[in-house]
Amino acid sequence: MPDRQRRRVSWCLLLAPAAPVLVYAAAPARGDAKVDVRDYDARGNGVADDTRAFQAAINALPDSGGTVQVPPGDYLINPVVGVQLRDRMHLAMAPGTRLMAKPNAAERAYVLNVNRVEDVEISGGRIIGERGAHLGSTGEWGHGVMIRGSQRVTVRDIHISHCWGDGISIGGAKEGGRIVPSRDITIQRVQSIGNRRQGLTIGRSRQVRVYDSTFADTEGTLPASGIDVEPDAGDMADDVLIARCIVRGNRGAGIQLYKQVSNAIVRECTIEDNRGAGILTLGARQCTIEDNRIRLNALGGIAVRPGTRELTIARNEFSDNGPRIRTKDGSARKGKRHVAIGDATSDIRVDNDNRYLD
């Protein structure tokens, strides 16, 4: 089946209203060339700076693109320079591959930079940030993977941890006086753990799909969410699906749908033990929260804040959300703040098929 037709079939399966969510990553349009970073003097010893070697391997691909292979090893990457990915390429990291961010004092620094490119795949291995060794105290944009103004990008089967900013950040890019959003982005089987600002930020974008991933233990600077869908001013995040994910132990909300967000669906996720709300919506519209397990979130299960409209909450299972109350005998009563709807909201539908276990 041709690549373009395969991608159309995949989207039809995703968007058919009566069908289950079926996912497979479409093969991007790229050539058959293969290069190995070791052939361009990457050492992989955790001491030598391998940033230039990675870039040389990427730049060596022909115009038709291809695959850059990364064998097992510890590759020191300078995120102030970053590794700039290009059109029609696959960065294929073997099990045992670790990209280790070099300590720096920059407010903005990215290990992998996916900026205004198309048909890119990143898979395998680990990215380990430098938040524990960061040389400065300001900024919040030290990301593992930065995606800006790009199309048809897949990030899969990768572990990202301890970044100064986000594990992954998706957003738009300025081009000729206008904002170009990212489009057709797939995050699949990713673990984003222990990052400082967010596990995943979804900013100015269209058609973002997040599947079978874990976003946990985010803490250090606000918002400190597992997933924050929050576009910058001037554009929106539209058509976002978050499905079958685990969002756990984040200092802020588990998932935020925050201003200028439309047509977002959170489905079949486990959202638990977050110190904010499990899911917070503010200014979002035409969104759906369904078939999730939402439990043990300190400030409540779902918090619906001003400006939210046309929100459906259906078939979720809630337990022990919100602050526990100390009783006269000294015991703690479980929290029961499962759905809290604030003022200045409209068309909020909480269906009778939600289940409350306490």
The 10s digit of each residue's pLDDT in 257-297 is 999 999 999 999 999 999 999 999 999 999 999 999 999 99
- Sorted by sequence, the CB contacts under 8 Å of residue 298 that are 6+ apart come out as 274, 275, 276, 322, 323, 335
Q: Is residue 180 part of a domain?
A: yes
Q: Is residue 253 part of a domain?
A: yes
* Strand 83-84 with 97-101, pairing: unpaired
Residue with tokens 């299972």: 317
Q: Is residue 72 part of a domain?
A: yes
Q: Is residue 140 part of a domain?
A: yes
* Strand 339-341 with 355-356, pairing: unpaired
The domain in which residue 240 lies consists of: 3-14+25-356
Q: Is residue 165 part of a domain?
A: yes
Q: Is residue 20 part of a domain?
A: no
Q: How far apart are CA 326 and CA 151, in angstroms?
A: 52
How far, rounded to the nearest angstrom, does the alpha carbon of residue 6 sit from its chain's CA centroid?
24
Q: How far apart are CA 114 and CA 67, in angstroms?
A: 15
Q: How far apart are CA 231 and CA 161, in angstroms?
A: 23
Residue 195, token pair as written in the block: 């990052």
Are the CB atoms for 91 and 70 separated by under 8 Å? yes
Q: How far apart are CA 65 and CA 27, in angstroms?
A: 13
Q: Identify the CA nearest to 37 among candidates 80, 77, 81.
A: 77
Are the CB atoms for 76 and 105 separated by under 8 Å? no
* DSSP helix/strand/coil, 270: strand
Q: How many domains does the chain have?
A: 1
* Strand 89-93 with 66-70, pairing: parallel
pLDDT reported for residue 14:
42
Q: Is residue 19 part of a domain?
A: no
Tell me which long-range contacts 272-275 makes (C-beta under 8 A, separation of at least 24): 272/247, 272/248, 272/296, 272/297, 273/248, 273/249, 273/297, 274/226, 274/247, 274/248, 274/249, 274/250, 274/298, 275/250, 275/251, 275/299
Q: Identify the CA nearest to 307 among candidates 340, 355, 341, 344.
A: 344
Phi/psi of residue 14, nearest 5 degrees: -70, -35
Q: Is residue 86 part of a domain?
A: yes
Q: How many CB atoms lie within 10 A of CB 14?
A: 17
The enclosing domain of 214 has a CATH number of 2.160.20.10
Using 50 as the pLDDT threshold, list the residues of the chain that sit under it. 1-24
- Sorted by sequence, the CB contacts under 8 Å of residue 29 that are 6+ apart come out as 3, 4, 65, 88, 119
Tell me the per-residue pLDDT of 64-96, one tens digit each, with 9 for 90 and over. Answer: 999 999 999 999 999 999 999 999 999 999 999
Cis peptide before 223 (omega within 30 of 0): yes
* DSSP helix/strand/coil, 248: strand
